[in-house]
């Protein structure tokens, strides 16, 4: 068996040239129809991803701004709530003081009116008592004038006068 090992070890030049030419043609076709569109697709995809990332960053910044704004608003609302509560307490305290002052003033006026009425009643009672005393004294004087004056009669008249004044 005679085998030519040298021809089997080294490639055939025409085959190598044909293979190189076919590979070159394939590379040109690949570059023309696949490489450029793939590069454009990857560039568009990279731009889309970068845009999405940028949008996410912008949305995150907006969310942070909204959170800060809402925290500020909640703090301000809490402060307004506290001030309203304090104002309501102050108003209630003033209303209470006003009501108490009005009640005390009204009580003083009623006490003064009652005192004046008592004084008037005392004066009226004193006046009526004076009139009664005068009438009784006049009765006693007329009885005394009509009777004879001795000590026992004077004593009886005085006792009856005292009884009439006391009762």
Q: Domain count of the chain?
A: 1
Q: Which domain holds residue 116?
A: 5-166
DSSP string of 48-79?
HHHHHHHHHHHHHHHHHHHHHHHHHHHHHHHH
Q: Please tell me the distance from the alpha carbon of residue 40 to that of residue 32, in angstroms, as a whole number.
A: 12
| In the block, residue with structure tokens 């009762």 | 167
Identify each DSSP E strand in the chain by its residue range: none
pTM metric for this prediction = 0.42
Contact 147, 153 (CB under 8 A): yes
What is the rounded CA–CA span in Å between residue 91 and residue 109? 26
CA distance 6 to 1: 15
For each successive 10 residues of the chain (167 residues), what is the average pLDDT?
Answer: 71 89 94 87 95 96 96 96 96 96 95 94 85 74 65 71 68
- What local confidence, expressed as pLDDT, does residue 22 receive? 96
């Amino acid at each position: 068996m005679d085998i030519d090992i040298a021809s089997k070890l080294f490639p055939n030049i025409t085959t190598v040239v044909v293979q190189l030419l076919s590979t070159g043609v394939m590379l040109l076709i690949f570059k023309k129809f696949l490489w450029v569109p793939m590069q454009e697709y990857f560039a568009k995809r990279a731009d889309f991803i970068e845009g999405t990332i940028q949008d996410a960053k912008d949305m995150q910044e907006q969310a942070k701004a909204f959170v800060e704004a809402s925290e500020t608003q909640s703090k301000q609302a809490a402060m307004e709530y506290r001030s309203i509560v304090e104002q309501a307490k102050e108003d209630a305290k003033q209303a209470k003081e006003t009501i108490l002052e009005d009640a005390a003033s009204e009580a003083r006026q009623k006490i003064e009116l009652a005192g004046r009425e008592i004084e008037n009643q005392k004066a009226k009672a004193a006046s009526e008592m004076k009139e009664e005393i005068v009438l009784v004294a006049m009765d006693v004087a007329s009885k005394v004038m009509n009777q004879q004056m001795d000590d026992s009669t004077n004593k009886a008249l005085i006792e009856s006068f005292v009884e009439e004044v006391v009762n």
